[in-house]
Chain A
Amino acid sequence: MRRWLLLLCLTLLGAGCASKQVVVEGNFPTPLMDPLPITVGVIYPQAFAEHEFFDEAKGRAESDWLVKTGEAQVEFWDKVFNGMFAEVVHIRDWQTVQTRGGGIDGVIIPAISDLQYTIPTHTNVKIYEIWMRYDFRLVDISAIHLQEDGALTVNPDERLAAWPITAYGKTPTAFLQTDEEAVNLAAVVALRDAGAHFITTFGAMPDIAAWLDDIANEPPDDGEAPAQNDEPAPTIPDEGVSPEATKGSEEADGTIDMSTAGASPADPAMATEHTL
């Protein structure tokens, strides 16, 4: 009897400080719109594709929170981009850059710079909220470079546009709804809001508008893909990439190592590059 009582006490004590984990899941709709007649490349950096947010409990009454949004982010933004643009090319390795680079008008690189959440325990308001801030970059395909270790990097100075997108999602408390379910729902609402914000402001930004104008005024392409030999594709200038780095890429097996560090500190040419 005593053993059971002890177990019950320990369970009750532990319940107060248990950690809560949410892997965000949802069914995301495809945007209803006429796609822009352009081809965009998309790179989801590792930090984005595996994005998670951890908040440590501040006291015994609170719980640790781990909110994993990465998979949902990729699933959602894939749908948004596929609905917005005539063609979307996922750039996961240098081989894709070489083979498809000639037809890509621009490369979008999303990043999450901030995520905040509140639950009723924090605010005494019966609403769960999630707020996210994204930093989007649009670069020319020529700004994507290859590292010796197979990682792709981008030179931030070569960007065509950079803009932030904020998103907000809330959901009220509901009967028989757990904290985890409510936070998941708020995250899904925030993602949808981010997509709505992105779609409705995309063409209105001066840098993007100028880029779209340039594409519209370009002479028609002959449709030929760039060379697929050892030489870099003509549309992909290799500025900032040392010959050694290029050679290293040739020896790579074509897979991209997103987990490795970016530019080597010893290589001054790569010092300003951002690893993707």
Chain B
Amino acid sequence: MIRGRLRCLMRGAGIFLSALWLGGCVSATVDEMTYNEPVAGIGESSVVILGRRHAPDYDTEFDFIECIGDHIHSGDPSIDVINEIAFINEFYPWFEPRTAPMQPQSIDRLLDMPMVAERFAEMKLEYMIWIDGRTVDTDSVGSMSCGIGPGVAGCFGFGTWGTESEYEATIWDFTDKVEVGKVSANTSGQSYMPAVIVPIPIIAPVQGTACDSLGDQLLEYLSAHH
């Protein structure tokens, strides 16, 4: 009886260790095509990173945009990254999903409005970076059952699912109103959830890797120190 339980526990531990070994494996592909890199950095100018949210079936996540901004700012604290939500609110209604400019040439239309132009000048905005994409969970397999009884509760089973991220950053030079680069990051990974009494989620950091990959490339472009 005890030997049977021990075997069961060892089997569970084996699954758990295998999952740990496999978990966290994320593959990433990054493509970059940029022009007119600011060799001396952007100085006292600022950068805003905005998510595209005009597609009917998805929104670029606000927390992903914040992650990239934090990544750039932590990599080079001299780069002033404007908070996305604060920017959208300040320029309401010109950066809503319905009204956001889709081409850099459309910026001139905004600058025709004196109050908007004045606010842009105050911000010393040099680059506007648009991020379009999303993270989705793909196929999942496995099963898990949980039970509860007098004085005991637990789960047993195993589940796994895939996650994929696809993001593309488009860099606009705000002064010249031209597109000066595109960076894309595609990442995918597999997450696992073994459960021997207690479920242990081993989550593949797919979105985090996409954030780091895009953030590194953008930092390289914007910063004089990278």
Residues of A within 8 A of B (CB): 27, 29-34, 125, 127, 170-172, 192-193, 195-197, 199-200
Q: Are the CB atoms of A193 and B90 closer together than 8 Å?
A: no
In whole Å, how far is A262's beta carbon from the nearest beta carbon of chain B? 34
Given B58, B59, B116, which contacts A32 in the complex, CB threshold below 8 Å? B116
Q: Are the CB atoms of B96 and A196 closer together than 8 Å?
A: yes
Q: Are the CB atoms of B98 and A196 closer together than 8 Å?
A: yes
Q: Are the CB atoms of B93 and A34 closer together than 8 Å?
A: no
In whole Å, how far is A37's beta carbon from the nearest beta carbon of chain B? 14
Q: Are the CB atoms of A199 and B93 closer together than 8 Å?
A: yes
Minimal Cβ-Cβ distance residue in A for B89 = A29
Given A170, A172, A200, which contacts B99 in the complex, CB threshold below 8 Å? A200
Number of A-B contacts (CB under 8 A): 46
Q: Are the CB atoms of A172 and B93 closer together than 8 Å?
A: no
Which residues of B have CB within 8 Å of A200? 93, 98-99
Minimal Cβ-Cβ distance residue in B for A125 = B57
Interchain residue pairs with CB less than 8 A apart (7) = A29-B92, A32-B94, A32-B116, A34-B114, A172-B61, A193-B96, A195-B92
Given contacts A29-B92, A34-B115, A195-B92, 4 further A-B contacts (CB under 8 A): A31-B92, A192-B93, A193-B97, A196-B93
Given contacts A127-B57, A200-B93, contact A32 B115 (CB under 8 A): yes
Q: Which of B40-65 contact A (CB under 8 A)?
A: 57-59, 61
Within the assembled complex, what's the spacing in Å between the Cα atoms of A172 and B93? 21
B226 close to chain A: CB less than 8 A: no
Which residues of B have CB within 8 Å of A29? 89-90, 92
Within the assembled complex, what's the spacing in Å between the Cα atoms of A127 and B59? 10
Within the assembled complex, what's the spacing in Å between the Cα atoms of A85 and B155? 62
Residues of B within 8 A of A (CB): 57-59, 61, 89-94, 96-99, 113-116, 119
- By Cβ-Cβ distance, the 10 closest A-B pairs, closest first, are A196-B93, A29-B92, A29-B89, A196-B96, A196-B99, A196-B98, A199-B93, A34-B115, A32-B91, A32-B115
Minimal Cβ-Cβ distance residue in B for A172 = B59
In whole Å, how far is A62's beta carbon from the nearest beta carbon of chain B? 23
Q: Are the CB atoms of B93 and A195 closer together than 8 Å?
A: yes
Within the assembled complex, what's the spacing in Å between the Cα atoms of A195 and B114? 20
Given contacts A34-B115, A193-B98, A196-B98, contact A172 B58 (CB under 8 A): yes
Given B58, B59, B116, which contacts A33 in the complex, CB threshold below 8 Å? B116
In whole Å, how far is B83's beta carbon from the nearest beta carbon of chain A? 14
Minimal Cβ-Cβ distance residue in A for B100 = A196
Q: Are the CB atoms of A33 and B113 closer together than 8 Å?
A: yes
Within the assembled complex, what's the spacing in Å between the Cα atoms of A27 and B85? 12
Minimal Cβ-Cβ distance residue in A for B118 = A32
Which residues of B have CB within 8 Å of A171? 59
Q: Are the CB atoms of B98 and A32 closer together than 8 Å?
A: no
Which residues of A have CB within 8 Å of B89? 27, 29
Minimal Cβ-Cβ distance residue in B for A192 = B96
Minimal Cβ-Cβ distance residue in A for B58 = A172
- Which of B91, B92, B115, B119 has the largest number of chain A CB atoms within 10 A? B92
Minimal Cβ-Cβ distance residue in B for A34 = B115
Which residues of B have CB within 8 Å of A170? 59
